[in-house]
Amino acid sequence: MKTKNLLSLFTLVVFAIMFWASASQAPIVVPRQFVLTKYSDVSGRKTAQDTIIKYTIPKFQLIDNTLQTQTKGGVTITCEIIPFNINKTVTKGNPKAFYRNPDKPDFDVTQTTNISGIEIKPEKVMFLVTIKNNQNRVLKLRDCAMVILMNNIQYSFPDPKVRLDWENTLVMSNFSTNVTIPGPSIRELDNPKSIEVFINDIPTEIDDAGNIKKRENFDWLFSCSSEEKTEKGTITYSYEETPVLTQQCQACSGRGSFSEIKLCPTCNGTGHYKGYDGNIHECYNCKGSGKVNVTTTCTSCRGLGIFKYPKSPLPPIDSQETWSYIDNVHVETIPAGLTVRIFNPQAKQYQDAGQTPRYVTSVFSESKRYPIIVIYNNQEVKIIPIDKSGKNIDEVKVDFSSGSPLIKKGTIVEIN
């Protein structure tokens, strides 16, 4: 009986030593990794470019001593060609997919090319005919014919409304009226030599009874040529950012994970377990319920809850560098309130991280470990979060109460 009690006591001592040893060991800190990608510098947006706009404008001139204003009998008619206006225009191209900004990967970018051009208005040769009636009777144009010849080929009015307006025109006694007659399109002016305007059978003499005593014809002959011109223009580029199209993952309904109630693996669903002391204890894992909530990441969307469909590509990859980091490293100092600086691998420089006590991220590359810097009295103390055995830890503690840094947790690298 005595031997049995000694054996039980020995067993309890062994378990106590094992428990103390496991409890005294610091938790294993496993660094995580991320890949820092550098993209080729091909995403530069284009700036405006100067260009030369070439265009052709028709020119008209009266020839063969043709008078622009002609008076026959009691009627005076002026025929002139309305000048062309040159307007600058901008033609927008179709948006094309452009490289996304690596710092804003969730936004598509489109590039639109805007090219300046020239617009000639009006698009047709427009004749402004001014008719003045110097007679005592109303002048009616119903029985008067107007004909346009281009290179001696008759050009008829394509628009019936124009003809109807002409035929319904009445010019009161001692009044004048303007009639605008559209001629051929400037696109039809394929090297024309001349344009001639005829107005036939105008009543130029009417008696007091309203009887037409005389009719006469009016005509104008214009020479036609083309003039090549240039204007300064620009080509500009506009860019627009729009959110990348996303679609909710149907497998997980957008949650990114699945939750399932399962039997507690620690107590096999009983809610309790038998301890080393022989007593029954409540299960610490399920709090006595016998069940636990198990969460698993959705493999379809990899935990994102959505699928992304970008239209714009990222720039080509120039290089990739693998970095390791320990997150939530607790930096504590005596006294508190000291400035902490950590290395930013993207900016390639150290940056302020706040004042102690502070949780920071310690980073290191494959070839170099970047220490955490604590500043005290303009003195930089560089420490890395590893213990004396070289294992990673998640805590750094420095005591400056004596005036010199005493490293209580972590390993000092340098003092400047």
Cα angle 55, 56, 61 (rounded to 5 degrees) comes to: 150
Q: In the prediction, which pLDDT does 10 show?
A: 45
pLDDT of residue 31: 85
b/e code 320-357 from CB counts within 10 Å (16+ = b): eeebbbbeebbbbbeeeebbbbbbeeeeeeeeebeebe
Using a pLDDT cut of 90, give the percent of the chain over it: 48
- 139 alpha carbon, distance to own chain's centre: 65
Rg of the chain taking only CA atoms, in angstroms: 47
The pLDDT assigned to 185 comes to 86
Whether residue 284 has pLDDT greater than 60: yes
The stretch 185-196 carries a mean pLDDT of 80
pLDDT band at 350 (very low <50, low <70, confident <90, very high): very high
pLDDT of residue 9: 46
Specify which residues 373 forms β-bridges with: 341, 382
223 vs 189, higher pLDDT: 223
Residue 157: its pLDDT value, please? 65
Task: Supply the DSSP symbol for 91.
Answer: E
Other CB atoms within 10 A of residue 249 CB: 19
- Position 158 scores a pLDDT of 60
Q: What is the pLDDT of residues 97-148, one digit of tens each?
A: 999 988 899 999 999 999 999 999 999 999 999 999 999 999 999 889 888 8
pTM: 0.58
pLDDT (tens digit per residue) in 218-244? 999 998 888 899 999 999 999 999 999
For residues 282-286, average pLDDT: 87
Q: What's residue 16's pLDDT?
A: 45
**C-alpha–C-alpha distance, residues 53 and 59, integer Å:** 19
Check whether 201 has a pLDDT greater than 90.
Answer: yes
Give the pLDDT mean for 340-347: 90
The count of C-alpha atoms lying within 13 angstroms of the C-alpha of 58, restricted to the half-sphere facing its C-beta, is 28
- Quote the CA–CA distance of 413 and 343 in Å, as a whole number: 15
